[in-house]
Amino acid sequence: MCGICGVVYGDERNAARETLKRANDLIAHRGPDDEGFFTDGPVGLAMRRLAIIDLNTGHQPLSYDDENLWIVFNGEIYNYRLLRAELLERGLRLKTQSDTEVILALYREMGQACVSKLRGMFAFAIWDKKKRRLFIARDRLGKKPLVYAARPDGSLLFASELRCLFALDPSLPRDTDPTAIDMYLSLQYIPSPITAYKSARKLPPGHTLVWQDGRTTVERYWDLPVGKPHVTDDVEEAKKLLRDKLTESVKLRMISDVPLGAFLSGGVDSSVIVALMSGLSAKPVKTFSIGFDEERFSETRYAKMLADKYKTDHTEFIVKPEMADVLPKLAWHYGEPYADASALPTYYVSRETRKFVTVALNGDGGDENFGGYLRYFAMKAARAADALPGPVLAALKAGTEMLPDYNAPFGTVWRAKRFLRSALLNDLPGRHLKMICYFAEDDKPGLYAPEFVKALGSSLGLAKGYMGDAFKACEGEDFVNRMLYVDFKTYLPECLMAKVDIATMACSLEGRSPLLDHEFVELAYRMPGAWKLKGLRAHKWIFKEAFKDLLPPEILARGKMGFGIPLGAWFRGPLKDYWAGHVLSKEALGRGYFTEKGLSGLWDEHQSGRRDHGYRLWALLMLELWHRHASAACEPSGACR
């Protein structure tokens, strides 16, 4: 596990170690244990290492094949021992015990197809000296990040984090992409391949990049098994397949040469992971939970219940957020606007967990595999509207518009009106977007400044097209699996995986996700959607059936509870002055995104209790904090490296 960066010039320049070090120092939090550099004429590779596997000989950049191949690698290959044994059996020489060398040896044997053999999370770059080719790959589900900039002169810059690109080439333009900001305000994240900057791109999950002779080519190498037949139509067999594959996935992710534990929220997913870990470990599993003073946002009671059942070595943290210190730090680490408020508790639990272990397993992916989000129920229920006669549908829409906009407490009727509008939209992508968006298209007039609307031009409202493309890619699948596919291609990698990677690596902690093992994901996807969302109430039915003997009945019967924080109350209390002092400042208004009247209207509605705009206010605050802190040479209140 580490952070990586590098450059290959398309002109006569040679890569300089001091330039690489300047960029590499910016990601020291990703790898505090070691650093390494390689230069070869126009090519330079650098890495920061968090030592997890092969502590003694795992230094990078690593070479192979008489130093013809060089690699920098961020991630873990969980099946590397099996692959290593196969390579040795075929007579290949290996000088380390690391998974990094296995990638190089596979590349020597298979070329770019080596990624098909890798089971894990990864972003790596291989320099092939003989072919003068740079090969970059990102894991299937997007757990490890990779950003790049292809320059007009044929040069290529790449890194784990955006700020490294500007350190590698200070002349790289920093112009903000208006389309990215508009997408962010709709989705809470900026989706691949765009970034907040016009000059930089993200390599999408499941894709490779090849640079050769000044040309950059990006190709997809993996997708969910759309159109494949069900793996089985027998429920009992399905339960056994899920049980066996997830147990294998957990076992692989318990391989570590450093202390290891698990996040335990008290939900079904993390509880199953901890239960399986306990069955595979001779010692009590170290588990970690976090809570806030506000009882309705705390799951610690359920986490303690599971910890007691399996006699884990359990640590519970109750935190009182230090907003003025932590929020600028988060904005700096994310490197572009990011508005999922659960980043805050994820950062806190990562920070505290790192005091005890270096690796933590989690339950991420259960909802996307098995239909756990409440919006899946809503979308399934809303399908009834599709079968209504036209006049009835028109009458319902008209009735919805007659509902009042305001009421106390906190806009309950307004939220119901918003949901009904979503349900009555005619097209599936629009309905889905309305369910998840922060700022819908009909929220933006009056909020957006005229100059921002002009800058957006025809790209205003591209979020719906983004969702439409995802739905189109899985036509023919059953309704529930279509919903899951869309989340696997949008929300999961672009929001959830980004959050977990940044929050954990900011604390030099490695997070591992057994439920996102690609073999497990493919297996689960090839089961009927009706087994995942059974009727309109039984969410994650097949998953719960497969593991119900491992969980206390209270956890098994729990409803979905997100990793939330009390934003609405905070913006009327401890964050009230902080928000107004940032978002309503002359500096913020001068950026030209919003009208003062539009922002003040949102703020006044929230303060009066007519509506709860907590998540919108959070998105606006994080946008402003990004502008103020993202370009800094070191994290706020941190030591410049």
Structure tokens, 219: 């190709």
Question: 67 by DSSP, 3-state: which?
Answer: coil
Burial 545-577 (b: 16+ CB within 10 A, else e): bbbeebbeeebeebeeeebbbbbbebbbeebee
390: buried, middle or exposed (CB in 10 Å: 19+, 13-18, 0-12)?
A: exposed
CB 179 within 8 A of CB 194: yes
What CA–CA distance (Å, rounded) separates 221 from 492? 18
Asked whether the CA dihedral 386, 392, 394, 400 is positive or negative, the reply is negative
Nearest to 80 by CA among 113, 116, 114, 118: 118
Structure tokens, 121: 């999370």
CB 579 within 8 A of CB 571: yes
Measured between alpha carbons, how far is residue 55 from residues 25, 191, 252 in Å?
21, 35, 18
Radius of gyration of the chain (CA): 24
What CA–CA distance (Å, rounded) separates 614 from 621? 11
Whether residue 114 lies in the annotated active site:
no
What CA–CA distance (Å, rounded) separates 584 from 574? 17
- Can you list the positions of beta strands (E) in 104-243? 120-128, 133-138, 147-150, 156-159, 201-202, 207-212, 215-220
Measured between alpha carbons, how far is residue 428 from residues 191, 434, 471 in Å?
20, 10, 8
Here the contacts of 584-589 (C-beta below 8 Å, separation 24 or greater) are 585/624, 587/628, 588/624, 588/627
Question: 448 by DSSP, 3-state: which?
Answer: strand
**Pairing mode of beta strands 313-318, 286-291:** parallel
What CA–CA distance (Å, rounded) separates 231 from 241? 9
Backbone angles phi, psi at 316, to 5 degrees: -120, 135
The catalytically annotated residue of 2, 114, 164, 474 is 2
Active-site amino acid positions: 2
